[in-house]
Amino acid sequence: MAEKQITVTSPLMPSLEEFNTYLEDIWKRKWITNNGYYHKELEKALCEYLGVPYISLFTNGTLPLITALQALRITGEVITTPFSFVATTHSLWWNGIKPVFVDIDPVTCNLNPEKIEAAITPRTTAIMPVHVYGNPCDTKRIQDIADKYGLKVIYDAAHAFGVRVNGESVLNAGDMSTLSFHATKVYNTIEGGALVMHDEQTKKRIDYLKNFGFAGETEVVAPGINSKMDEMRAAYGLLNLKQVDKAIEWRKHVAELYRAALKDVEGITFFNDIPGVTHNYAYFPIFVNAEKYGMTRDELYFKMKEHNVLGRRYFYPLISSFSTYRGLESANKDNLPVATEKAEQVICLPMYYGLSDEDIEEILKLII
């Protein structure tokens, strides 16, 4: 029994002292939102850190998804994964687009490229994959299919902050990628998010769209939304960026301890590092095979909970099983056997900067 509750995550926070210095500066400037000093500084710093050419900050990670679809004028049907957080599919709903769920790959839990072509219809205009848990999608295969059928690709990269493949940011794949800087993510600005794009023209257009569509004082070019990040959160974000490498190192250590202890446990599987990939250790999901492990996922989940260890069943239930979406033809379980199985097996173990070796030991005792 863990003495205090161990949660699945805990936010990375800057030192209050440093944050206060930045706040004092903001109070002096008296410019608290609308592309202020810290907003510009954070965009610059993120481009450099992430290795991307252009970025636009948002108030959360959902509005960049909605805005990317609007900017690219996506309509009709979009192919997506049911094994994600609901925001992915909700962004389609908000644009009046019909989601078409395609099953996931059993190894990566990402949208299975092998299954995409069969789901394409004359109404398909785009693919929206997710780099789930920060595992990179097969971006090359997906792009090949998109090119062949003339489709756009928008990545929900909410989990993929800092992830690289052979040194190249995974955020540069597709037409655009979105990030979430929510408190629960690897890197946070309390609430926040961003859209990554390839060219200056698109960046300009996105900046209009997140500010009601204003392109100057008197001109409105589109029915945009309000999703501007304020100066306090941008300043907080600048400070957090300075310590995110340290946080990822810590997470890596946690993952190594979990892996070493769980590798010989019958019926428990997990992800290992992929050669060539710079991981961010955003989550540590384990998959429970009830038959081999001798206990179901839910039995283990509730046992952990009783002992004050709060794992989370990400992603269960599948998005396709929520009332809004379950009536869709593609939401049928027979269409999604792998996603259905993974959703029934998964538990994300506690994973955050500051999680102690002693706490990890307590958690592992409940599983082994």
Ligand X SMILES: *Cc1c(COP(=O)(O)O)cnc(C)c1O
- Residues in contact with ligand X by CB under 6 A are 60-62, 84-85, 87-88, 130, 156, 158-159, 180, 182, 193
Cα–Cα distance list, 305 to 5, 173, 195, 257, 354 (Å)? 9, 39, 36, 21, 20
Task: Please state the closest distance from residue 158 (CB atom) to ligand X, in A.
Answer: 3
50 versus 360: smaller Cβ distance to ligand X: 50
What CA–CA distance (Å, rounded) separates 56 from 238? 15
> Smallest distance, Å, CB 185 to ligand X?
6
Among residues 161 and 293, whose Cβ is nearest to ligand X?
161
CB of 193 or CB of 285, closer to ligand X: 193
Shortest separation between residue 311's beta carbon and ligand X, angstroms: 16
Residue number with the shortest CB distance to ligand X? 61
Which residue, 12 or 268, has its beta carbon nearer to ligand X?
Answer: 12
How far is Cα 114 from Cα 84, in angstroms, rounded to an integer? 19
Question: CB 265 → ligand X: shortest distance, Å?
Answer: 27
Instruction: In angstroms, give the least distance from the CB of 148 to ligand X.
Output: 26
For ligand X, the closer CB: 60 or 280: 60
